[in-house]
Amino acid sequence: MTTQGIIKPDEKVELIRGEIIKMSPMGTRHAAGIDRLIQLLYQKLGQKIILRVQNPIRLNNNSQPEPDLSLLIPRSDFYVAAHPCPQDIYLIIEVSDSTIDYDRNTKISLYAEANIQEVWIINLKEECLEVYRHPLHGSYQNIQKYSINERVFITSFPDIEFTMEEYEKMTTQGIIKPDEKVELIRGEIIKMSPMGTRHAAGIARLTQLLYQKFGNLILLGVQNPIRLNNNSQPEPDLSLLIPRSDFYVAAYPCPQDIYLIIEVSDSTIDYDRYTKIPLYAEANIKEVWIVNLKEECLEVYRHPLHGSYQAIQKYYRGESIFIESFSEIELTLIEILGNIC
């Protein structure tokens, strides 16, 4: 990833009306709900959308929030040149519990002023879906609530219905302050870096690619926590998980639940190689990929033994790769790297 400007590179933040706001960490149910929504939305909409998870959208010069989910008009460059703008957005989804007042009173008005056509709030407190449509003069003219047994559609896709029963309801919890986005690495709380456009585009490209290739064979976690041990709970860019019907709502995924971890790296390449990779090896994560934006290659780490990986290879454009757990499914480096490098 790349960072620039006055925001420190160790902070995960949103820019809201010119104010820098630190983002909240996810509880297990929040994370499980987002994972479930990612799978559900790709199952329903497929290549009709690009789906981004807690990635920036640019509303104006003073506001660059990072919604839980943004459904975007597909573009071949996956928005690598610049963060998406209001005209690129079909739908924004926010998952809210302790943040419900902030989302309703701050984020919703912000989205309405920017003319975002539709916003959903998954309201965990009231166990309902709030749908905001038809922005006019800085407020939404049509606001509706849907309960667990009702159906809803996205305005841009009226022929595709969703039900509240198609995903688990979530709550957020935990001892880390709700205004921080962090990882726990070897007992130390590390603030996470904000994303540049290349990093965000890379994650969006890979999210779409992996669901296209693997579908229901996997559950895909996007910057969600995994629990390695009592001292380490990192949040990889992507985690390919063994599917579970509860979407890991009871507890974060553990090493035995993980097929593959993917990190997208630019300015963080040394940190990913020398801090994260040994951590994953010690936890016996079978396979890790680093999408190396600087060298425009894929680094593949396999066969952990005594805290290090025994097989390390680099792959470049023109080559193909497979995940060891799915050796019959081939991916090309062109598909993985695309035009994000």
- pLDDT computed for residue 179 by the predictor: 44
- pLDDT computed for residue 24 by the predictor: 67
Q: Residue 38 is which amino acid?
A: I
Q: Residue 15 has what DSSP assignment?
A: E
Q: pLDDT averaged over the chain?
A: 87
The DSSP result for 142-209, as a single string, is EEEEE-TT-EEEETTEEEEEEEGGGS-------SS-TT--EEEETTEEEEPPPPPHHHHHHHHHHHHH
- pLDDT computed for residue 8 by the predictor: 52
- pLDDT computed for residue 136 by the predictor: 94
- pLDDT computed for residue 7 by the predictor: 53
- What's the rounded mean pLDDT across residues 33-42? 84
Domains and CATH numbers, the chain: 13-169 (3.90.1570.10), 182-337 (3.90.1570.10)
Query: Quick check: 152 and 131 in contact, CB under 8 A?
Result: yes
- What's the rounded mean pLDDT across residues 15-38? 77
Write the pLDDT tens digit of every residue in 217-234. 999 999 999 999 888 899
Write the pLDDT tens digit of every residue in 131-145. 999 999 999 999 999
- pLDDT computed for residue 147 by the predictor: 85
Write the pLDDT tens digit of every residue in 3-12. 445 555 445 6
- What's the rounded mean pLDDT across residues 168-190? 55
**Dist CA 334 CA 299 (whole Å):** 14
pLDDT tier, 340 (very low <50, low <70, confident <90, very high otherwise):
low
- What's the rounded mean pLDDT across residues 295-310? 96
Q: Does residue 87 register a pLDDT over 90?
A: yes
Q: Does residue 193 register a pLDDT over 90?
A: no
**Would residue 234 be called left, alpha or beta, if left means φ above 0 and alpha means ψ between -120 and 50 degrees?**
beta
The length of the chain, given as a count of residues? 341
